[in-house]
Structure 1
Amino acid sequence: MLLLDIKNLTIELETPDGLIRAVDRVSLSLKEGETRGLVGESGSGKSLIAKAIVGVLNRRWRIHADRFSWLGQDLLRLSSEQRRKIIGRDIAMIYQEPSRSLDPTAAIADQLEEAIPSELLEGSWWQRPFLRRKRAIALLHKVGIRDHKAILQSYPFQLSEGLCQKVMIAMAIAKNPKLLIADEPTTALESTTQAQLFRLLASFNQLRGMSVLLISHELESVARYTQNLSVLYCGQLVESGETSNILSQPFHPYTDALVKSVPEFQPELAPKAPLYALPGSIPTLQHLPIGCRLGPRCPNARKECVKTPLQERLQNHFYSCHFPLQYKAEK
């Protein structure tokens, strides 16, 4: 079953100089039980898309889409109250900086128990406090925290970033969401803690059938734990499809550059040899190129690239490029 279906999503920012198109006609879909990765450099619009899905962008942002549906309901056509009810019930999100997302004035026990919906508690009203605490302890155990007494009595500033992130995950899964959005969940964490969190998210997908949208700039980690992959560059969706197909045969020059920049995907690379990198850097929102936004950095750019490429499809592999890398072989 198709949970999330977004077509031609455009997100624009109102500025004194006019509208800036931060996200340009991006399409994204998620099936029930699917894990999808959303990768790209910092500033490519990944977090904007996630915040647009859960409806937390402020009024300065304008959102347009040909289709923006959740389980067949167009979220953009619903009232804010109806949309909050659906998102609050079915979608949960983990933000980048967990310690800043938690209330510094409240103990972890109060925050975690508040995240547990009353309808999931079976028992009389006078049993609710006991049942909430019991469920809060169970949630901490599920995310790998054994010393629940110390954690429940602590405040966010007393915990490490890794523990705060696990608490955020426990709060996110407290309502048994159909979709869990993890926005850069391992930022500033140690490598061992990163691996634990990725395995934890994978276990929710495998054991609970929970769909996961994993957002990160680390292609290596995302590729290991996702079935499908979408690649963003500067607000444009450049390629999407099955993760294994994209890694083995990327069609877009930017995706190819991402794959070549990861040593794990380059087994034939000589020791101490320099990794492949595109020239230049991602442009700012105020100076976005016309047409294909990779054009000024692309080694295959031609005059046709001043026009925005249409999305092409080869079986379940989508790409947006006038001159894809497999152009001669596939056309």
Structure 2
Amino acid sequence: MLLLDIKNLTIELSTANGLIRAVDRVNLSLREGETRGLVGESGSGKSLIAKAIVGVLNKRWRVTADRFNWAGKDLLNLPYEQQRKIIGRDIAMIYQEPSRSLDPTAVILEQLEEAIPAHVLDGPWWKRSYLRRHKAIALLHKVGIRDHQSVLQSYPYQLSEGICQKIMIAMAVAKSPKLLIADEPTTALESTTQAQLFRLLSSINQLKGTSVLLISHELESIARYTQTLSVLYCGQLVEAGETAAILKQPFHPYTNALIKSVPEFQPDLVPKTPLYALPGSIPVLQHLPIGCRLGPRCPNARKECVKTPAIERLQNHYFSCHFPLTGKTV
């Protein structure tokens, strides 16, 4: 079943100089039980897309789409109250920098109990307090926190970033969402803690059937934990498809550059050889290139690239490039 179905999502920022298009006609879909990766450089619009899905962008942002369906319902055309009810019930999000997302003035027990909805508590009303605490302890055990007593009575600043991130995951899965969005869940964490968190998200997907949208700027971090992958550059979708197929044969020059820049994906790389990198840097929103936004940095750029390329499809592999690496030209 197709849970999330977004076509031509556009997100624009209202400024004194007019609208700035931060996300440009992006397509994104997610099936029930699927784990999809959303990867791209910082500033490519990944977090904006996630916040648009959960509806937390402020009024300065203008969100439009040809289709923005959740389980067959168009969220953008629903009344606000009904939209919030559906999102609050079915979608949960884990933000980056968890210590900033948690309330610094409340202990973890209070925050975790607040995240537990009443309908998951099976028992009489006079036992609600006991049931909530019991459920909070069970959630901490589920995410790998065994010393629940000290954690529940601690404030966020007294805990490590890794523990805080696990608490955020526990709060997110408390309502058994159909979709879990993890926005840079391993930022500033050490490698062993990163691996633990990714394995935790993978187990939630496998055991509960929860769909997961993993967002990261590090391709190697999420490639092994995702079934499908979408690659963004500067607000434009450049490639999407099965993760294994994209890693084996990327069609877009930007995806190819991401793969070549990771030593793990280059087993034949001679030691001390400089890693591949595109020239230049990602442009700022106020000075975006016309047409394909990779154009000024692309090694295959030609005059046709001043026009925005259409999305092409080869089986289940999608790419947006006038001169893809398959040798096909549009």
Taking structure 2 as the reference length, the TM-score comes to: 0.99
The equivalences for 1:1-331 within 5 A come to 1-328=1-328
Matching residue's letter, 2:106: A
Q: Deviations over 1:28-58 (max 9, x none)?
A: 0000000000000000000000000000000
Measure, in 1, the Cα distance between the counterparts of 2:226 and 2:172: 19
Listed as ranges, the gaps of 5+ residues in structure 1 are none
Measure, in 2, the Cα distance between the counterparts of 1:151 and 1:104: 14
Measure, in 2, the Cα distance between the counterparts of 1:235 and 1:327: 25
Q: How many residues align?
A: 330
Measure, in 1, the Cα distance between the counterparts of 2:233 and 2:322: 15
Matching residue's letter, 1:132: R
| Identical counterparts, % of pairs | 82
Measure, in 2, the Cα distance between the counterparts of 1:148 and 1:107: 12
Matching residue's letter, 2:262: V
Listed as ranges, the gaps of 5+ residues in structure 2 are none
Q: CA deviation at 1:287?
A: 0.5
Taking structure 1 as the reference length, the TM-score comes to: 0.99
Is the partner of 1:180 in helix, strand or coil? strand
Is the partner of 2:224 in helix, strand or coil? helix
Measure, in 2, the Cα distance between the counterparts of 1:20 and 1:110: 40
Measure, in 1, the Cα distance between the counterparts of 2:10 and 2:178: 25
Q: Deviations over 1:112-138 (max 9, x none)?
A: 011001011011100000000000000
Q: CA deviation at 1:327?
A: 2.1
4+ residue segments displaced more than 2 Å: none
Is the partner of 1:30 in helix, strand or coil? strand
Measure, in 2, the Cα distance between the counterparts of 1:251 and 1:50: 25
Measure, in 2, the Cα distance between the counterparts of 1:275 and 1:82: 50
Q: Deviations over 1:266-303 (max 9, x none)?
A: 00100011000000000000010000000000000000
Measure, in 2, the Cα distance between the counterparts of 1:271 and 1:190: 25
Matching residue's letter, 1:85: K
